[in-house]
Amino acid sequence: MIIRKCLLYATGLLLSGTLCMAQNIRGKGAFQLDIDFARFYADSEVTYLEMYYGIHENSLAYRKDSSGLSGGVNMKWEILTDSARTAFKEWTVPHTMADSTSIRASQTLMGKQALGLSPGDYNVSVVTYDFNDPARRDSFTTLLRIGRYPRGREALSDIEFCTSIQSSENKQSIFYKNTLEVIPNASRLYGAGLPIMYYYAEAYNLKDRPDESNMTVRTSVIDALGKEVITKDKQKPRLHNSSVEVGTVNLSALKGGTYLFRISLVDTARGVLAYSEKKFFVYRPVSGISDSGGADRSRPDVMGSRYAVMTEEDIDRAFDYARYTATDAERHQYEKFTSLDAKRKFLYEFWQRRDIDPQTPANETEETYYKRVDYARDNFTSGNREGWKADRGRIYIVFGPPDEIERFPSSSESNPYEIWHYNNIQGGVIFVFVDRVGLSDYILVHSTHRSELRNEDWYAQYAQRMR
């Protein structure tokens, strides 16, 4: 049986890793906000939304004070519909330590917010910036659909990826739910240093059908080619109408790359009753040989990278995604390659040149870029054009999430259009996109960025409806 706390905001912070850092440290590497969401049943009219966030501890700037080293992040969470603001919250997450001598990029500050939402489409915006260095900031925006959970048939919540799940009696912890301490993994990244994936989900309406026998809970890990690489079944009696589904998956045998995790409720007579799935990522560094002859575990060579196991089609697609950040010379050079090994080596070195923090195992620049590609593909695709090729997708990939989006729906006076604001580029720039044909294919018609199209008469030419 699932026990749901009252639907109020909750906030909290957890540090994953040992507290240790050099004094007077400045933010290191990219200031990156990791965000994940999961939706759970609350009642027939309300869905319980949980947002998980993570920020690498070494990306923060710290000041020395009487308590040691002090840092933190300021955060803002806003949820809007087309007509009104549904929720808004600003808060500061402080982080202090007595003293420090070193820091690992794997240490992450993790937290959570939650609230209840009625069915509908919502624009969710999360903005965060360094308490001591406000110029270091990141933001996230997405369209989130809240639907009603079905009645009279089995259903599953979204999946929450976790770093650990343990029995707990600490009901004051914001990570507590249903007798468990559930620590989220907002990055959905596993592999080096984190080989075990924990997962949490909830199953509903298990006893709505009379005289049902046991069912099977099937968990599957599916690779980029659609092949099930890990599958596990367990029998489940229908003791209650709702239940918690938790477990672990050992990922140590998987190669680096993007995977899909799926939970299915299966009945031998009726097949798949319900399923829920979500992407996750495996990073797999492999030790190479340093100039001194010793093992260098901070930077694998191309044969230790994920490119070593990618097909030529995958490599070509990965470079297509990277074209927005490639120079003309790099694009011409890649087009001349005829061997797969040459392409693999080129793409590996392409991203190594752009690694802003070579001392860490992960290439933060590369990871951030491809996450933006995934977001663009998922959110800006229209018709036969993939989202990363669309104008909004290109701008999102190149410049990241905007600081503010003004959305103007279709009306008797104008076509739908959006104005994206970036406050920290060239003193502040905007990008204007118009959906001229009403198929969610927004084209860039004007920008104040020096390198983009500028057209001060964009509204009259593209947005305004003819009378």
Bridge partners (DSSP) of residue 83 are: none
Bridge partners (DSSP) of residue 176 are: 181
Q: What is the pLDDT of residues 115-128, one digit of tens each?
A: 999 999 999 999 99
Instruction: Give CA–CA dist 296/301, Å, rounded.
Output: 10
| CATH number for the segment(s) 1-147 | 2.60.40.10
DSSP secondary structure code for residue 210 in this structure: T
Give the model's confidence band at 244: pLDDT under 50 very low, under 70 low, under 90 confident, else very high. very high
Mean pLDDT of all residues in 30-53: 91
* Topology agreement, domain 1-147 and domain 149-284: yes
List the chain domain ranges: 1-147, 149-284, 288-362, 387-463
Instruction: Give CA–CA dist 378/369, Å, rounded.
Output: 14
Instruction: Give CA–CA dist 308/341, Å, rounded.
Output: 8
3-state secondary structure 298-355: CCCCHHHCHHHHCCHHHHHHHHHHHHHHCCHHHHHHHHCCCCHHHHHHHHHHHHHCCC
Return the percentage of the chain with pLDDT > 90, whole number: 49
With a threshold of 0.85, does the pTM exceed it?
no
pLDDT at residue 2, as a whole number:
64
pLDDT at residue 293, as a whole number:
32
Q: What is the pLDDT of residues 159-204, one digit of tens each?
A: 999 999 999 999 999 999 999 999 999 989 898 778 999 999 999 9
Burial level of 112, CB count in 10 A (0-12/13-18/19+)? buried
Instruction: Give CA–CA dist 81/75, Å, rounded.
Output: 20
What proportions of the chain, in percent to the nearest 5, are helix, strand and coil? 15, 40, 40
pLDDT at residue 355, as a whole number:
82
Instruction: Give CA–CA dist 298/287, Å, rounded.
Output: 8
Structure tokens at 76: 């803002």
Topology of the domain comprising 149-284: Immunoglobulin-like (2.60.40)
Q: What is the pLDDT of residues 403-443, one digit of tens each?
A: 999 999 988 889 999 999 999 899 899 999 999 887 888 99
CB 219 within 8 A of CB 248: no
Q: What is the pLDDT of residues 69-123, one digit of tens each?
A: 888 899 999 999 887 899 999 999 888 877 655 455 557 888 999 999 999 999 9
DSSP reduced 3-state for 397: helix
